Structures are given as structure tokens and as C-alpha cells.
Structure 1
Amino acid sequence: MRDIPNQPLVQIVYGTSGIMPQLLNTSQVDAFFVWESVVSTGEMGGIGKVIARDADIPPDRKWENTACNVLVMRNSFITEYPEIASLLSAVTIAGIQKIYDDPGEAVNITARWVYGSKPIRSAGLFLDPIELEKNAFPHIVFTDNASLPDLGLIEKSLSDNIMSDHSSSNTVGSVYKRALDLLNGSKPHISNTPSSVRIGYLPSADLYAPLYVTIIESDRICETYGFCLAPRSDTSDRPDECQLIVNDKPVADVQLLPGQVGGGIMTGLGQRAIDVAYIGSVPTLMQISMGNPASIIHSINAGGSGLVVDDQAPCDDWNSFIEWVENRSFSGQPLIIAVPQSSIQEEMMREAFEYEGIQISLYGLPSFGAL
């Protein structure tokens, strides 16, 4: 590919979510696009301002109700333990419902799980975890029925001969349907149980609040449904040893395995080191498309992304941001934007810039037109 004359350009740099506020604070990037509560960290810490959310990103508000994170399971685990799989789906959905039943307590649980009880000290910030989550939560839609994203432009970077269908056929409807039946009063019928279930997740993200809430609120969930995912001990705000309880009896030990990135968790799932995962929809779909023997059960959340720029940047919404992109590009100083690699946020930015007629290059590499 080649540069297109007179077409504006932006540069993308990949970064981990936690470092993005610091990159903006030290003027190493001009903007970052990432998930909550990193967005709120930048905003409340006085590092930048939020100028666009998921629904503001073109084209046509397509990202407003798109699954950002999903519940995924290894196919062989589903086949061998279908009722256990459905119970884990059910307790996740119960956690989603608990968030809406008592959002204040969900904020407290998530703040303690992700950040602990002490103030957040990072990149010169001093933030209260609960206040941070109060700011973040309204921008996240916790839901089990958001639509899966189309991989679109990220998929173009993968060889056509290793791609397979990644449509809704990857969603195991029988597990989800059975989970809804269990929540509506159907009695569990467990014929086979694993010695343990290993669940991978990213403990630094509040987008997995349904997992945190369903565990910490397990007593109430068991009272309501007769089953729950309960911590072995109530002495930790972030337990890693749990039990799946049915009718007051443990049916499976559950181990929570914290990870660093979604792709790594998916690799562990494909290698049978993990059975179940709570991770981003895009890395999940990419690995399933490349042959990882796993299936998406349902969404965990939609929304929760934000575009953050310096407070002094000459823009306050997406349209004025694009004007800034164009002006900087034509002056020979293209904007540098940080995104997490192979994430839904990267997909959103790539598709939005293509829609706006703006080329993308990776920072530090020659520009090659719209990647």
C-alpha cells in the first residue's frame, strides 16, 4: 500500500491500558482510546478530557450496543460438563442483575476488587477508588445480550487461509438457554462434575464487575436461585479460591486465574490450562477464527470506552477531533493515539478513521495508507 496524496494521517501506538494516562500526561501521545476505569482515571486525575464515547464513534453509532467483553468456554469443557457450564453462565447473569439491583454496592465491590481499599497513586494521581468507580460505572452497560462485533479491519491483518467463520455460530445457544432456564426456576441436573474449574480473567478491569459481584454477593444469590459461586473464605476482597454451590452443597472447586492480556488467557484456554474466561470480545473472536477450540456463551458488557485528549486540545467532540486530526496532519505533525493492541478499541478507531477518510500508520513506521 502507499500514501494517498492530500489524505490526512494519524499514527497509532500500542500500549497497555494502565500506562495510557501517563503517556498523555507526559505528552508522549496526543490522545488515548481505552476502557473504563482508565478513562475516568485520566479525567478525574486532571490529565485529560473525554471527548467521545462508544456511541459517538462512527459509523452510525454501530458500537453503542456491541459486546466489549464476553464469557467464553473451551468446547471440550462444555461437552463434558454442560450443566456446570450453564450454571457458570447463570451465576454471571445473576451478577449482572445484582449490579442493577444495587449499583452502589456493586461500585464498592468492584473498587475493592480492582484497586483495594487504599487511594490510587499513579502518574502523580491520588484518587479514591470508590469515587473513581462511581464515575466509571454509568458509562458501562452490563448485559448478557449485546451483539458480537464484526472484526472488520483487524481481520484484514490475518491471512485469509487461516480464517474461519466467526459469526454467531460461535455462541453456544444451548448453554445460554439452559442458564436462563436455571435462573427462571428450573432445577439443576448434574450428571458429571469436574474436580476443579479454572477461570481466567483480567483483575485490573472493572468491566468484569459481574464476576466480582456474583462472588461477593453469593449468599444472596444462593438464597434467590439455590445456586451460586461462593468464595471459600470471606476474608478477601479479591478471592481466588471459590466453590460452585448447588442446594447448599459444593459441586465443583473453582480457581480464579488472573491474567495480563486477553490473548494470553485465550491461549491458555486453547492449551487446556483454562476452562472458562472473562475477556474481550475481539481477542476471543480472533483466536476462535484461527482455530482456538472455544465458544462465546454471551456478552458481559457493552460500552465503557472513551477517547481522552489533553485538556488544552482544540476539540470537544468527535467532529472537532477530526478537524484537529486534519489540521495536525497537514501541518506535518500527525496526531499520535494510543490504543490496546488487538482490542475492540483498536477496531473502533481503525474503522472510524477509514470512515472519515484518514490514513493510519503505526508510530515509528512509514505510513502505508489506511491499514
Structure 2
Amino acid sequence: MKQIMLVSLAVLLGLTLLITGCVDEAPVQPPNGASEVGIMYTATGQMPVLLSTGQIDGYMVWQPFVSVAEVSGIGTVVSYSQDLPPAGTWTDHTCDALSAREDFIAANPDLVNAIAALLILSGDYVQENPDRAAEVSADWLFGGGDMTFGDVKVSSQDVLAHSIPTIRFSTEPSEDWLQSNDRFIEALRDIGYLTGSLKDASPGEVRDTLYDFSHYEAARAMVDAGEITTPEKRTRPMSIGYLPSDHDAPLFVAIKDWEHFHENFGIALKPRTTAPGKVDVADLIVNGEIITEVRLVQGEGGAQLMTLMGTDAIQMSYAGTPPTISAVDKGMPIKILLPTQNEGSGLVVAASAPVDDWDSFIAWADARSAEGRPLRIAAPIRGSIQDVQIKYALQDSGLVVKEV
């Protein structure tokens, strides 16, 4: 599973020089004759530019940057995330979830329930109104205008309309969803990302450590009853972290279409501004009462949001489950409260690449590696869902993965 990342000019120049320098290096043969693929990490908004200028061979990323490639003609989709190998592993896979600090949950249970209820309602709204969700997401992420990547310009409305239907929005913590997280935990163990409390924990211990579904159950009961309990007013603002992706469309819709939720359900996140684009501050209103100021904090990836949660800079987050799992493994006092969407990522290569599916991608990787020019694939952040999936898929196909 959704505004181009705001990166300073210095960082962009440094990144471009770094990547250009790496591409110009002398060919290096992979060890022991094994085919090799390089994984590098960069801001999602820069990936289409890097791909179109030949500085990377492909990227594994969340939406809408998968759709950017296809709609603009920059690239082609090798595989959506749910179809990556091992076969059947990632079907209906977990992606973003709502999580919160344990101390915040304990001090504000009714507030957490109310926010969970609003996201259940807005998730249903997105599923039922994909065109409106695309319009709202295009406004939030790109101001509703065109997206420009070097010499390439593409309508954000067209991109989001292409992207939203590839994402499954669901808030039910079903057994299938839990098993999907179990598979990610196995993958995280296999590639050495879990080294703490979850490394050797049993399935039951893992679930007890990771989840607190009592707030989903309370929220679901309120939604079904058509009545949201009014939380106590807070004297201090709270902060919710999110990612610049249409995976977060339910959060965007809850804020941009706040009047719909206020009038029909008695709960809303009313933005402090009506200007186009993202919203930084909103008021949570329940049954006509302003409960708290909510600050919306945009992160670059799930791992960064977990760091912000660890320092109490944000109290709740809308981020992928694997980085949340990794944070809990390292001892962060966080609980996953409910899923928000599944699937919605993909592997993209340049439109000129001799690739139309996973098998031809592997053949291309073998050929490039034999030439001493291993493929270079970009991923958002180390430990992200996309990073885990592409590494796991490559290793399953017998390739050596190297971070570059």
C-alpha cells in the first residue's frame, strides 16, 4: 500500500551523485558464479526519476508509485506483491495497520476506540467509493495536479484511479491476516531482521506480544450499534504518523470528507485548513465535542515512524506491519490494533527491459550478473514490507542479494 517526498536539494544531489558513481564503477563478478542483485534504498518519490534516467534497473515500492510507472510509460510491472515467490506466500498479504504506544492506550482507551471506529468507517467508505478515494488521495499527495518526474509528466488523478483498485482495504484482524503476519515473521527471521524478543518466540507468544484487538472489538461494536462513545477531552495534542501513499487513503478520506462522517456517524477529524494538499492539524470531534487536537506527521517509511513512536514524538501510527514487528522485537512498547489494508505494492522495471513476468526478470538478472553488471533495484527503507518481499523472493529464486 499512496505528494512526492520532500527531500532537500543537497540530499537529492548527493543521492544522484552516489547512484551515478555506483553505475560507473567497473563491473564486478558475483562470488562463486552465483547471480547477484543489488538492493539500494532511496526515497519513493525519486524512484521514477532514477528509473527513467537509467540510474536503477527497477524498484519495489508501494502504491501509487507502481501505477506511476505504468500510467506514465516509464516502466512496466513485473509482479504485484501478492504474486511474488514463493508461490502463494503473499496472497492477500498484510500491509498497513494502526498501532499505538502501550502507555497511550492505557491512558486513553476511549480515545483509541474512537479513532479505531473512524478508520473502520473510512475504510468501508474507500471500498465503496474508490473514485472519490482516488480524488482525495490525489489531492492529499499531489495537490490534485500533475506529477512530474524529470521530463515525464502524468496526471495524479489518472495515477490514483489506476492505483486504488489494486489495494484491498480491510480492518478485520482475521485468521488469514494473522497468518500473513506469521509468514512475514518467518521471512524476517530468515533474512536476519529479528534478533530480539521475537526471534525465538512461539506463535502464541508472538501474538500476545504484538496485538491488542480489544480496541478493534470495542470500535466494531460502536460502529455496528451506530453510536460512538465520547472520550474524555485531552489537554495536550496527540500525533498520528502516516506515509505518503494511497495505502493511507482511509485516513485522508476521514479528514478531507470529515463532514460526511460527522453528519452520518457523529465522529470526524476536522482539518484546520481547507487548502488543497496534505493536512497537518485536525480536531477530533465526537458527538459535537472537540476531544483533542490531532497532528498528522508524515514519515518516509515505517521504520522511521517506529523510531518516532519510540521517542513518543507520535503516539499512533498508520504503517506497515513488518517494521512494527521489528520495532516490537527490539523492545518498543507498541501494540498493533487493527489492519487497515492489504497488498498494494509491486516490482517495476524500465519499459525497455526484456521482462514481462517473474521468470523473465530472473533470466534478465542472470544475464546481467554474468556480464558483471548486476541489476540494481531500489526499495523504500531497510526492513519495509517491500524490502522484505523482494529479498525473500530473490533468495527463493536462488539469487544472491547484496545491499548497495
Q: TM-score, normalised by structure 2?
A: 0.83
Q: Residues of 2 paired with 1:88 and 1:23: CA distance?
A: 38
How far, CA to CA, are the matches of 1:98 and 1:174 in structure 2? 23
| Paired residues of 1:109 and 1:237 also in contact (CA < 8 A) | no
SS at match of 1:199: strand
Which deviations, in whole Å up to 9, do the C-alpha atoms of 1:246-298 show, x marking residues without a partner? Answer: 22222222121223332222222122221111122222111111011111111
Contact 1:153 1:350 in 2 (8 A): no
Please list every run of at least 4 consecutive aligned residues from structure 1 whose deviation after the TM superposition is greater than 6 angstroms: none
Shift of 1:150: 1.7
Flag the 1:123–1:280 CA change in 2: closer, same or farther, 3 A: farther
1:337 Cα shift? 1.3
Unmatched 5+ stretches in structure 2: 1-29
Residue 230 of structure 1 pairs with residue 270 of structure 2: yes
- Does residue 1:73 correspond to 2:100, yes or no? yes
Task: Name which of 195, 200, 219 aligns with 1:160.
Answer: 195
| SS of corresponding position for 1:254 | strand
Contact 2:56 2:377 survives alignment (8 Å): yes
Q: Which residue number corresponds to residue 335 of structure 1? A: 375
The letter of the residue matching 1:208 is: D
1:151 alignment partner in structure 2 = 185
Shift of 1:115: 0.2
Q: Is the 8 A contact 1:37 1:133 kept in 2?
A: yes
* 1:151–1:347 Cα contact (<8 Å) kept: no
Q: Give the residue type in structure 1 aligned to 2:403.
A: L
Which one has the bigger helix percentage? 2
- Percent identical pairs in the alignment equals 30
Correspondence 1:26 to 2:53? yes
The Cα shift of 1:189 comes to 4.1
Measured in 1, the distance between the counterparts of 2:184 and 2:83 equals: 18
Equivalent position SS for 2:341: strand
Letter in 1 for 2:168: V
Tell me how far 1:235 sits from its aligned partner: 4.3
Asked whether the 8 Å contact 1:81–1:193 carries over to 2, the reply is no
Give CA deviations for 1:27-55 in whole Å, capped at 9, x if unaligned: 12211111111112222222111121112
Q: Partner residue of 2:255?
A: 215
Matches within 5 A, 1:305-316: 305-316=345-356
- Write the distance in 2 (CA, Å) between the matches of 1:25 and 1:330: 24
Q: Secondary structure at the match of 1:256?
A: strand
Task: Summarize the Cα distance change of 1:270–1:118 in structure 2 as closer, same or farther, 3 Å threshold.
Answer: same
TM-superposed deviation, 1:67? 1.6
Equivalenced residues, count: 360
Tell me whether 1:352 sits opposite 2:393 in the alignment.
yes
Q: 1:4 to 1:260 in 2, by over 3 A?
A: closer
Report the CA distance between 1:304 and its aligned residue.
1.3
Query: Is the contact made by 2:111 and 2:231 (CA closer than 8 Å) also made in structure 1?
Result: no
Stretches of structure 1 lacking an aligned partner (at least 5 in a row): 364-371
Match of 1:267?
307
1:194 deviates by: 2.5
Cα distance, 1:253–1:320 mapped onto 2, change above 3 Å = same
Partners of 1:233 and 1:23 in 2: CA distance: 34
Q: Give the structure 1 partner of residue 17 of structure 2.
A: none
Evaluate the alpha carbon distance shift between residue 349 and residue 249 of structure 1 in structure 2; reply closer, same or farther with a 3 A threshold.
same
Whether contact under 8 Å (1:56, 1:318) holds in the other structure is no
Aligned to 2:110: 83
| Structure 1 CA distance for aligned equivalents of residues 366 and 93 of structure 2 | 28
Distance 1:70 1:191, change over 3 A: closer
Contact 1:12–1:338 (Cα < 8 Å) also in 2: yes
TM-score (norm 1): 0.90
Partner of residue 164, structure 2: 137
Query: CA 1:184 to 1:14, structure 2 compared with 1: closer, same or farther past 3 Å?
Result: same
Letter in 2 for 1:16: A
**Cα distance in 2, alignment partners of residues 174 and 57 from structure 1:** 33
1:11 corresponds to 2:51 = no
- Identify the residue that residue 149 of structure 2 maps to in structure 1: 122
- Conserved? CA contact 1:35–1:304, under 8 Å: yes
8 A Cα contact 2:228 2:287, kept in partner: no
